[in-house]
Amino acid sequence: MNKLWEFLRSRARSFVYAFHGWGYVLRTQQNAWIHAVISLVVFALGLWLGLRPQEWAILILTMAMVWAAEIVNTAIEAVVDLASPFRHPLAKVGKDVGAAAVLIAALASVVIGLLILGPPLYARVLAWLR
C-alpha cells in the first residue's frame, strides 16, 4: 500500500509542476494571453453555435496544439537563455524556429476555426439581419 501511495503522490506532484509551468507561461508570455482570450472566445462561440462532438474534438485538439507549441517555445527560450546568456547566431536560430512552430500552429488553428465556426456563425448572422 505504501508504494501505491507514493506512486499516487508523485503523479499528483507531476500535475502540480505542470500547472506551475503553465502559470509561468501565462505570467511571462504576452502571446499566451492572446491564446487564452481566443481560446475562451472559441469555446463560447462553440457553445452558442451548438457544435457537434466531432467539431468540439477538432477545435480542442487545435487549441491544444497551439498551447503546446507556445509552451514548448517558452521552454526552448528559457533553455537557450540559460545555455547562451550572450547573443549567439545559433541561439537566435533556436528561438526563431520555436517561434515559427507557434506561428504554424496558430495559422492552422485560424483556418480550422474558420472552417468549423464560419458556416454556422455566418448562418446566425444572416438570420439576425433578416
Compute the distance between CA of residue 48 and CA of residue 42 in angstroms, rounded to an integer.
Answer: 10
Compute the distance between CA of residue 42 and CA of residue 39 in angstroms, rounded to an integer.
Answer: 5
| DSSP letter, residue 86 | S
By the 10 Å C-beta count (0-12 exposed, 13-18 middle, 19+ buried), 62 is classed as buried
55 tagged catalytic: no
Find the catalytic residue in 6, 55, 70, 77: 70
Catalytic residues: 70
